[in-house]
Amino acid sequence: MDIILASGSPRRRELLSRVQLEFTVISVDIDETPYQDESPKDYIVRMVAAKAEAATVQLNRQLKNNNAHLYQSLLSKPIILLTSDTIGVLPDGKTVLVKPNNREDAYRMWQQMSDSTHEVWTAVQATQLSLQPKRSDEFNNEQVWQIINQQQIIERTEVTFVALTPEMMSDYWDSGEPVDKAGGYGIQGLGAAWVSRINGSYTNVVGLPLAQTLALIKEMTNTDTR
């Protein structure tokens, strides 16, 4: 089966490319605001499911608008759609650390992570799509992409930070690196200087637990429901 990565993250694309996995990329845009009192697990499970749904709608719009030439090679067989979401979780097990809204938001998160251990959680969902007869008149084509199988995993990694000073936080924010990263740091970049120890998958902290994702793809391929 062919693979579509529904993510705008260059880090996830780079990780999958490292293992020479062939895949197509599409970007999806959803509201990533956590619900009030939503647990970290409920949040990331909801995110990867919502991203898969949004990507399926986008693929069906391509069919409706006769723009399927971008995905012509995908039309004759089922595909695996990969969606992922990464968050930081404080030791209380409840506080979710997402991408910072601004400098003050980043500082607030970093102060809570300074000289302590937090966790990085990544949820990955593999969604198998197949062209099926349309169920309504919503689309002009005779067939539409429909979800026929889904599997999810959640990977957790412990990350310990050094004690952070105001100068360290100011310099790091000014670098521009924290803006689009969960918890406001990138372990693969300048943020590595803040990390004294990790326990678990390094690639999970980057944004995609690579070994576990490849195992998920293999399992999904072996359970092809055609």
In the block, tokens 């412990």 appear at 158
List the structure tokens of 7.
């993510």
Which residues are tagged catalytic? 85
Q: Could you tell me which residues come within 8 angstroms of residue 111 by beta carbon, excluding any fewer than 6 positions away? A: 164
Give the C-alpha separation, 203 to 223, whole Å: 26
CA distance 173 to 184: 9
CA dihedral 194, 198, 204, 207 (to 10 degrees): 0
Q: Is 41 exposed, middle or buried (0-12, 13-18, 19+ CB in 10 A)?
A: middle
